[in-house]
Chains A and B, each alone.
Chain A
Amino acid sequence: MTEVINNEKEKFMGLTHAQVFMYLLMTVISILFLFITNAYLFRMNFADWQSLPMPTLLWFNSGALVLASVGMIWAKQGAKSGSPTNIKIGLTAAGIFGTLFTLGQITAWQELNAVGYFLASNPANTFFYLITALHVMHVLGGMVAWLRVSFKVFLGSENTATEHTIGLLGIYWHYMLLVWALLFSILLTT
């Protein structure tokens, strides 16, 4: 490795690389969900649209996602106050509730399928499966990032970047919760 010196640079609003990357990524993801909801609202005006009932399980899943976010806040506070125990508790909670959410969503699909709301039988069903699946995929992306951070925290030595990293991870998780809240309210009201 070469020792190099990076003199003071032009920065954008005092943000770090990772912050800029994360905010941009969230913008792109927002656009993706914006288009899919747009298509949803456009398509539901057609005559063949038949809304499907929302499984009650979704409320429990939403709760799990909220608790996962709380876990991330817990970990962030732990990092701020320099308490490794709180970081670990918070991360663990976030991981457990994140997994519960994912499993819960899969169970909800199975429930719907079991009572005859098949993917292809009505556009409302198709959109429900597609939108929730896209969201779950993005939550899984957050789980991968969670794994990376957790490995560092549980196995690695003390890392100076932990607060920064956990903060960013937390933002993504809160963002996933926000996206879910918006999607769920659209699914509920239409």
Chain B
Amino acid sequence: MLIFILRRLGVMVLTMLALTFIVFFLTNLEPNLIKLALSDGNMRMTEEQTMQWLENRGYLRPFHERYFEWLGGVFTGDLGESTRFKQPVTELLAERLAATGKLMFFVMITMVPAALLIGVLAGMREGTRLDRGLSIVSIGSTATPEYVSGIIFTVLFASMFKAWGETYAWFPEWLHLNGSAASATGRSGITFYNFTLPVMTMAIYGMGYVARMTRASMAEVMTAQYIRTARLKGVAFRSIVIKHALRNALIAPFTVIMLQFPWLLTGVVIVEAMFNYKGFGLALVEAAENNDINLLMACSLASVAVVLITQLISDIGYVYLNPRIRVK
């Protein structure tokens, strides 16, 4: 097991090196450097001035030299300064990751139970009307990317319900939600009013996929021999599902949920840009739009680390949850 983890860690480091190298290469392509010069320096610089600007700031030094310099910085904990935010990257990133962490936390605690419930209910009696209905719901949710559900929810909750709340006395006030989460990182903090829409939008897209996986795994378990034995023994259906089936059916969704993180990362970018929430995703978008090299490198490092670590956890967790699997 230890060797397995060590080897995986080695591959992880190699992946991160390769990826940061690629990102560094791409951000240092000439057109991207010019974009940086134009957004950070003066917009109306001539070509010659742009080159001069880049030269003065050391962007035109040999590529490998600068990459190793950056790499050295990583090992000493110095990720450089962000050209877009005029702030040390480590500081900015810590702040932004904390904000996104909160968003992720709420997404996870809404998405996972909902998805598991839908999946288990659909899978425990395969082929029934309940199963069909819930399957359609989960297929529908996988067909609704964040930018679509975000639009629909904002139209409903932020504009229509606002108008209704103002005209009809009976309309519950709390259903009117804020279409912007900008205030959530500000003084007011996270409230139901400003945080529900982004969380809902993100949870919907991922939910369907996890629910489908849970359903498939549950349906498979329900046909197993020991379930039949339990039924013949006369155990109540409810306790068969809860005591016998659930435990075995939830192994596969565990991996799927863990592997959802990379997917959620894309979702985070869209949702944060949509609802104007100052988190990691918005930082990535702004960094990419301005070709803020240091911040982009740090962002890619962070997201790759998240992806790889969740993969590792899902592999190790799988082995622990399923004793039949042995690693070599």
| Bound pair (A, B) | no
